[in-house]
Amino acid sequence: MMLNRHYSPLDRLLLQADAALRTLVPGSSQPARPSPANALAETSLSESQSRHLAGLMRINHCGEVCAQALYQGQALTAKLPEVRDQMEQAAQEEVDHLAWCEQRLTELGSRPSVLNPLFYGLSLTIGALAGRISDRISLGFVAATEEQVCRHLDDHLQQLPDDEQKSRAILQAMREDEQRHAESALAAGGFDFPAPVKFGMRCIAKVMTKSTYRI
């Protein structure tokens, strides 16, 4: 039987640095699950459709970069071991989404956002601060964030061409996982943020989506 290893603060800092590089360096993320788009045929897209689709996938890729940073920051400051383990497990599952979006961007002849390092740093800081306040707030922040992600994914799914199945399969699989993460965070004792806070989070999210669509 394998025992859980106890890491020192320095060990955890080095692990976080490694995670940051794996998140931000293209081609570094190794998914545990194959992309749901792999078995689907490519659709013939016009230049404008391809450009718009790449913009949507770039937004989603940046969102996954932020999710990685958020979970990693929360894991650094979580007070209860079970909460830390939940954050680290969720971050590992988000690696699949990160790799799937990056693969789709490559297929579309595009690239991730150059703003990813900036949003990674901001999300890591927010996650660490939420974890420092309390595990209940940290879990609640996860739930509220994943709720916003589901809203974005629903909107993007509606914007896809009807016959564009590869991107649709990726976004649908991502949405299922994100919804589960939100429900799990609340079930674990997360604080259900009030509507004004969630509205503020949506406004901040718009900054990310508007800037990463093209950049």
Both tokens assigned to 31 = 């998914």
- Does 176 belong to an annotated binding site? no
Q: Is residue 28 part of a domain?
A: no
Q: Is residue 114 part of a domain?
A: yes
pLDDT of residue 78: 65
Provide the pLDDT confidence category of residue 60 given band limits of 50, 70 and 90: very high
pLDDT of residue 170: 94
- Does 64 belong to an annotated binding site? yes
- Does 178 belong to an annotated binding site? yes
pLDDT of residue 9: 65
Q: Is residue 41 part of a domain?
A: no
- Does 183 belong to an annotated binding site? no
Asked if pLDDT for residue 2 goes beyond 60, the answer is no
Q: Is residue 33 part of a domain?
A: no
pLDDT of residue 129: 84
Q: What is the pLDDT of residues 87-103, one digit of tens each?
A: 667 667 778 898 999 99
Q: Is residue 31 part of a domain?
A: no
pLDDT of residue 104: 93
Q: Is residue 17 part of a domain?
A: yes
Provide the pLDDT confidence category of residue 83 given band limits of 50, 70 and 90: low
Q: How far apart are CA 191 and CA 137, in angstroms?
A: 6
pLDDT of residue 205: 82
pLDDT over 90, % of the chain: 24
pTM over 0.75: yes
127 burial type by CB count under 10 A (0-12 exposed, 13-18 middle, 19+ buried): buried
How many separate domains does the chain show?
1
- Does 88 belong to an annotated binding site? no
- Does 97 belong to an annotated binding site? yes
CATH of residue 62: 1.20.1260.10
The parent domain of residue 160 ranges over: 9-23+46-212
- The CA distances from residue 90 to 64, 125, 142, 184, in Å, are 11, 18, 10, 10
Asked if pLDDT for residue 1 goes beyond 50, the answer is no
Pick the closest to residue 167 from 93, 92, 108 (CA basis): 108
